[in-house]
A and B are shown apart, each in its own frame.
Chain A
Amino acid sequence: MKNRDPGRASSAPPRREGENSDQAVVVEDGRAKSNEPVSSAVAEPEATTLRHEPHEPPRQPLPAKLFEKRTKVHNKRIDGPFRRFKWLVMLVTLAIYYGTPWIRWDRGPYAPDQAVLVDLANRRFYMFGIEIWPHEFYYVAGLLIMAALGLFLVTSAVGRAWCGYACPQTVWTDLFQHVDRFVDGDRNARIKLDAAPLGLRKIVKRAFKYTIYLVIAFWTGGAWIMYFADAPTLVRDFWVGEAAPAAYITVGILTLTTFTLGGFMREQVCIYMCPWPRIQTAMMDEKSLLVTYKDWRGEPRGSVKKAKKNPEKFGDCIDCLQCVAVCPTGIDIREGPQVGCITCALCIDACDKVMAEVGRPRGLIDYATLEDCEKEANGEVARPPWKALLRPRTIAYFLIWGSVGLAMLFALGVRSHVGLSVSPDRNPPYILMSDGSVRNSYTLKLRNMESRPRAMEIALQGLPGAVMWTDTSGRDAAARTQVKTVPADQVLVVRAYVIAPEGVDTQEFSFRVTSRDEQRESAETEARFDTPGGSE
């Protein structure tokens, strides 16, 4: 490489390590030429002649550190409409999380009375009036699809509102930050305390704070397991040491994760660990509502004093850094939309307050779409933010989301509450009886999804001349139909022996189960009758 072009090598000054010459400019034949690539789109015609032979690119020293050390966020207290909304969302979401397992829902004597219950032991999922069995797990898949579409909808309509208000990481981080404020005081006091040497006062304060952290974390872990068992019973069992080991392990793990994720990692989870901000970044466009600093209005920044002296020269931003101080993720919103911004809008509250104090219009930082910002900057009248919600994409998302929900509700409404599965014995496939007739054995599973016992009639469809009996009825009771009582909310396993007269060929037939009540729900399942002789 070095000796590829001796002519050039002679004219270009050889570079030595540590030489601090300007690598962007190379002197060749007495003319300075750029070492940077020049796009043909912008270069003047003579640029071709001005360009020199390619050189080794200038060596860029690596940044000394690839790891950016975290600066701890001490966000300042703020009050305003968005903060109050955040309080409300926090209250509602925490109340839902901690309170839901305690809601009761009467399902009669045969089913648990907890409104929301994931009964892993009995493999049932109860949610108010809905009961889901394991084979209906597609409803849960449907719920997850709805959750994903809901996030798309919210993202395309109001940007990262999920991140800013409802995400558990945000809610618990917010909660823990309030604990910080309660124990250590507001921003300045906390910064001071952090910098202070470890003394008795600091130790006591830290111990007190971490105790509160732990209590919240434990309560959070404890609330989680309530969804998987009868809550009052589980609380009693938990404290007398009779709960399942899984309960203690789960509480332990969730206590630990809540303690670390909410107490210490906080915004780092959003910035470094969570995939959702990246996905959302890809989903947003110039029509998405997001928290925006209106730089066309704010720049250039200057203090109130400077602006008074020279009102023409400065924008509305007085560079008071209040927006940075209140930010729970510690970013500067004036640098534009960024992955660290969870759009909690606390900076809007802070900025509006300052603007009111200095007598300038509110909304220097505001919810706006980039498109509207551009319009506004050009002097046009901006639409009110709620109009940004109604556009084809959000409507399409809403329609898809709604139709998935409606389809699931419809499927839930018309689903059958009886079921039948048939598994024929394969060993032996058929049994020759002493009178020459042929017997096949089947294991039937009768499913009763009502929370009351139901009498069900099993009937043979097809297979002329055949009769059946069951393991409990005996051969004397052999007939074309049998009646069984299936316990409430259970599957009854029935052994059915079907016997067909001599000479019957191997053939398909089916079992039909019908509930003997006013609903008369039924289900039919195909089976095969094997014989030694004929084929299909």
Chain B
Amino acid sequence: MTNKRIDEPTGTETVGHEWDGIEELDTPMPRWWLWTLYLTIIWGVIYVILYPAWPLVDRATEGVLGWSSRGELAEEMSVVDQARVSMREELSRIPIERLPENSELFTQAVAGGRSAFQVHCSQCHGSGAAGSKTLGYPNLNDDDWLWGGDLKAIEYTLVNGIRAPGVEDTRTSLMPPFAGVFEPAQIDGLVNHVLSLSGKATSSSSGAQLYQDNCSICHGPAGEGDRELGAPRLNDAIWLYGSSREQVREQILNPKMGRMPHWIGRLDPVTIKMLSAYVWSLGGGEEFVEVSENPAVEVDEEP
């Protein structure tokens, strides 16, 4: 440091070191740079006072403004919720079967239902609501409904679930297992008859007889199914558990029966309404028919 000298051509002081004849000029920082540095220091001090800054063991210093990212999120969420209050109120008042008449409200309900579906339903039914044939989750886009496809029926299913344990009004039905009941030849005949209902095979009289005796009570003589019992249609092109001979045989011997949790109590009624509207809007929704054929069955009960 003792070798500092003024460099003649530039008039600048050197730093005082010399490396093999090379010296370095001690050029001062540009003024603007220095001022920017000072400003950032001032900024840093103010920031540390105002905002959370120093990490401690289990939390951080809080800052005098009391700001936190969680608090900010909560505030933003409540602003959004505030904005939705009127829509949700209107939605809670309107009977669900009248919802499609109010197209603006319906659009909002579908949009809300779409996001709720992604959170609560897509795990089983898939993000496109296409279900899964291998796992036995039904496709919600098509026009085949096990329990009814109008808005009220969909809402009822959502509220009470299907075979949900401990829920009194849950939709429930039982396909008895036929393992050990039939001879292998009988089974083949029965499978042939079931497939023949949708034109996939040719029936035999023995198979038809077995069907009439054992299956037609629930599934109907022509395989038209029964929504009140939750018995699937067998004469259409949609097979929840597959349409190959093996799959149909397996379903007769050891039937799989899907479950769906009930959502009342977990989701508020308005969200369930929105979900119903969304599922209904996927393209297979059915018109609500005011008068039920059998008044004894109250599937349309408001939960």
Task: Report whether A64 and B236 are in contact in the complex, using a CB–CB cutoff of 8 Å.
Answer: no
Contacts of A425 in B (CB 8 A): 128
Which residues from 268 to 284 on chain B have a C-beta closer than 8 Å to any C-beta of chain A? 281, 283-284
Whether B92 is near chain A, meaning CB under 8 Å from some CB there, is no
Q: Which of A431, A435, A472, A502 contacts B283 (CB 8 A)?
A: A431
A474 contacts chain B at the CB level, 8 A cutoff: yes
Q: With a CB–CB cut-off of 8 A, which chain B residues contact A502?
A: 237
User: Which of B57-65, B140-148, B292-300 lies at the binding interface?
Assistant: B140-148
A435 and B236 contact, CB distance less than 8 A: yes
Chain A residues near B198 (CB, 8 Å)? 436
B142–A439 touching, CB < 8 Å: yes
Is the pair A441, B287 in contact by a Cβ cutoff of 8 Å?
A: no
A397-441 CB mask vs B (1 if < 8 Å, else 0) is 000000000000000000000000000011110011111100101
A291 to B222, CA, bound (A): 100
Q: Which of B115-168 contact A (CB under 8 A)?
A: 126-128, 130, 139, 141-144
Q: Is the CB of A434 within 8 A of B10?
A: no
Pair B10/A64 contact, Cβ less than 8 Å: yes
The contact of A434 among B9, B127, B142, by CB within 8 Å, is: B142
Residue from A427, A431, A476 having most chain B Cβ neighbours under 10 A: A431
Inter-chain CA distance A427–B127, complex, in Å, is 8
B233 on the A face (CB < 8 A):
yes
CA gap between A425 and B237 in the complex, in Å: 22
**Contacts A427-B128, A428-B128, A439-B142 known; A434 to B237 CB distance under 8 Å?**
yes
Give chain B nearest CB distance to A56 CB in angstroms: 15
> How far apart sit A349 and B79, CA to CA, in the bound complex (Å)?
65
A46 at the interface (CB under 8 A from B): no
**A-facing residues in B216-272 (Cβ within 8 Å):** 233, 236-238
B103 at the interface (CB under 8 A from A): yes
Number of interface residues of B (CB under 8 A): 23
Write out the residue numbers on chain A whose beta carbons fall within 8 Å of the beta carbon of B9. 61-62, 64
Question: Taking the complex as formed, is B11 at the interface, i.e. its CB lies under 8 A from any CB of chain A?
Answer: yes
Tell me whether A433 and B128 are in contact in the complex, defined as CB-CB below 8 angstroms, given that A62-B9, A472-B103, A474-B287 are known contacts: no
A293 lies within 8 A of chain B by Cβ? no
Q: Are B144 and A431 in contact (CB under 8 A)?
A: no
Residue numbers in A under 8 Å from B236 (CB-CB): 434-436
Give the CA-CA distance A168 to B8 in the complex, in Å: 44
Of B130, B144, B283, which one neighbours A497 at CB under 8 angstroms? B283
Chain A 280-300 residues near chain B, CB threshold 8 A: none
A502 to B198, CA, bound (A): 13
- The distance in angstroms between the C-alpha atoms of A77 and B201, with both chains bound, is 104
Q: B130 touching A436 by the CB < 8 A rule? A: no
Query: B-facing mask of A139-163, CB < 8 A → 1, else 0?
Result: 0000000000000000000000000
Contact A432 B128 (CB under 8 A): no
Q: Say yes or no: B141 contacts A62, CB within 8 Å.
A: no
Cβ contact within 8 Å between A471 and B143: no
Docked Cα-Cα span, A4 to B17, in Å, equals 30
Q: Which 5 A-B pairs have the closest CB atoms?
A: A427-B128, A428-B130, A434-B236, A436-B237, A434-B144
19 A-B contacts (beta carbon < 8 Å):
A61-B9, A427-B127, A428-B130, A428-B139, A431-B139, A431-B283, A432-B139, A432-B142, A432-B237, A432-B238, A434-B144, A434-B237, A436-B236, A436-B237, A439-B142, A439-B283, A471-B281, A495-B281, A497-B283
A: residues with CB less than 8 A from B are: 61-62, 64, 425-428, 431-436, 439, 441, 471-472, 474-476, 495, 497, 502
Known: A432-B237, A439-B142. 15 other contacts (CB 8 A): A61-B9, A64-B9, A425-B128, A428-B126, A428-B128, A431-B283, A433-B143, A433-B144, A433-B238, A434-B233, A434-B237, A435-B237, A436-B198, A436-B236, A476-B287
